[in-house]
Amino acid sequence: DIQMTQSPSSLSASVGDRVTFTCRASQGISNYVAWYQQRPGKVPKLLIYAASTLHSGVPSRFSGSGSGTDFTLTISSLQPEDVATYYCQKYLGAPFTFGPGTKVDIK
């Protein structure tokens, strides 16, 4: 099975900072990566699919990029409501595995 890793496992940044974190697949998966946001105590939400396509209603400060094995999620200007854990998911063939997550909080 293809494994997904994420780095860093956690980060702390200031409001307004540009924040980038990464997801890596153990084998090439083209652009079959999605990103989810899970705020503390809440249900996960789909943010991005096809590595870079924003899901409906997602703020434009979120962006994704990558192809093959390396993917990034960027928040251009961190907001307090962005405090959450972010998970990547690969969806090229079952199992549609999630990464372990990156936890983002505010300094």
Q: What whole-number distance in Å separates Cα of residue 64 and Cα of residue 72? A: 6
Torsion-angle region of residue 101: left (phi > 0), alpha (psi -120 to 50) or beta?
left
Q: Smallest distance from the beta carbon of 89 to another protein, in angstroms?
A: 7
Q: Does 86 bind another protein (CB under 8 A)?
A: no
Q: What whole-number distance in Å separates Cα of residue 95 and Cα of residue 3? A: 10
Q: Judged by CB under 8 A, which stretch of 10-18, 31-39, 60-68, 69-77 contacts another protein?
A: 31-39
> Of 21, 62, 71, 87, which lies in the binding site for another protein, with binding defined by CB under 8 A?
87
Q: Does 35 bind another protein (CB under 8 A)?
A: no
- What are the two backbone dihedrals, phi and then psi, of residue 82, each rounded to the nearest 5 degrees? -90, -5
Q: Does 49 bind another protein (CB under 8 A)?
A: yes
CB nearer to another protein: pick between 13 and 92: 92
According to DSSP, residue 98 is labeled: B
Q: Smallest distance from the beta carbon of 105 to another protein, in angstroms?
A: 16
Q: Does 36 bind another protein (CB under 8 A)?
A: yes
Q: How far is CA 3 from the centre of its chain?
A: 15
